[in-house]
Amino acid sequence: MNTPIAIIGSGMAGLSAAHALTAAGLCVQLFDKSRGSGGRMSSKRSEVGDLDLGAQYFTARDRHFVDIVQQWQENGWLAEWKPALYQSQGGQLNLSPDTQLRYTGVPRMSALTRNLLGELPATFACRITEVFRGEQHWHLVDAAGQSHGPFSKVIVAVPAPQASVLLSAAPKLAASVASVVMEPVWAVVLAFAKPLDTPVEGCFVQDSPLDWLARNRSKPGRASRPDSWVLHASSAWSRQHIDLPPEAVIEQLRCAFAELIGCAVPEADFSLAHRWLYARPAHAHQWGALADADLGLYVCGDWCLSGRVEGAWLSGQEAARRLLEHREHNS
């Protein structure tokens, strides 16, 4: 049996790389610090149903991604989401229909990544703190001090600020990754026992602390009650209010929501706030993936490309492609 490849991070990028490598007959072992897979595409279970706190939907523009999205749709892992879309600018709320295809996991965003995880070997609740190379193989150390290995190669598939500290074996690679800035986003959920009296189901927002809001029950497969909403603050507002207590974030974003939605907004019957420290790259890159191929260390993630779900998938594919190419040249 071949020595497995370690993949740190089981978000879309890590899962994409894992699929490409297992399809080529290689063994992988995934590690994630969270209790489950999905990363920024994960969903939170709550008393008001499953909530997509991170990625809300995704689009597919690259030909290969379009093909795989079609397969996932045929498998029943995702569906098209066709919200009544609005935009709010300068306090004016206007219908903003378009013909863009948008997809979401059903019945929650994390259903997609959970299906992609399938039977792949994975260790959860395991934060990797060190990645080092012995004479022949790679080894990982987790936050509890436990060692994992040996591995033939390592793919680091986590947000850039979390990746750079794992790359001390390849200082040049670490320096490139450390140059990537990622922006935070505060996400708030508000749920109302009595549905709000508005036709809005999704809204792109400008000139407000918010930059996006979505009505959960408009997404495919979600229960219709209570009427829960996900609000995302802009990165600028989130950065300025990064250490605000969650209750204060909820109150400020609730006020911003009430101001723009154009109907009465009572006190929410349920609310929560979640802070994403590394939500999106400040700038898009065209790296595909980064690597020190001779060493056997690869890095991927949405921040290597567009900072979107599609970018994460493409980056994972690129890391796997480069690994397989190098392996072939050296065999």
Stretch 47-86: interaction string toward ligand FAD, x if CB under 6 A: -------xxxxx----------------------------
Residue 298 engages ligand FAD in binding (rule: CB under 6 A): no
How many of the chain's residues bind ligand FAD (CB under 6 A)? 38
Residue 81 binding partner per list ligand FAD, ligand NAI, none, with a CB distance cut-off of 5 to 8 Å that depends on partner kind:
none
Here the tokens at position 104 are 């979401």
**Residue 292: beta bridge partners?**
297
**Given the rule CB under 6 A, which residues bind ligand NAI?**
58-59, 85, 87, 96, 98, 100, 102, 185, 204, 232, 279-280, 307-308
Give backbone dihedrals phi and psi of 145, rounded to 5 degrees, phi first: 90, 5
Residues 307-326 that bind ligand FAD (CB under 6 A): 307-309, 311-312
Residue 89 binding partner per list ligand NAI, ligand FAD, none, with a CB distance cut-off of 5 to 8 Å that depends on partner kind:
none
Q: What is the DSSP string of 8-45?
A: E--SHHHHHHHHHHHHTT--EEEE-SSSSS-GGG-EEE
Rounded least distance, CB 113 to ligand NAI, Å: 16
On whether the CB atoms of residues 214 and 83 are closer than 8 A, the answer is yes
Torsion 115-121-123-127 (CA) sign? negative
Residues 124-143 that bind ligand FAD (CB under 6 A): 127-128
Rounded CA separation 251/271 (Å): 10
Q: Which among 165, 164, 196 is positioned nearest to 267, based on CA atoms?
A: 196
Here the tokens at position 125 are 């609740």
Rounded least distance, CB 16 to ligand FAD, Å: 8
- Residues interacting with ligand FAD, by CB under 6 A? 8-14, 31-34, 39-41, 54-58, 127-128, 157-159, 162, 185, 187, 232, 276, 279-280, 301-302, 307-309, 311-312
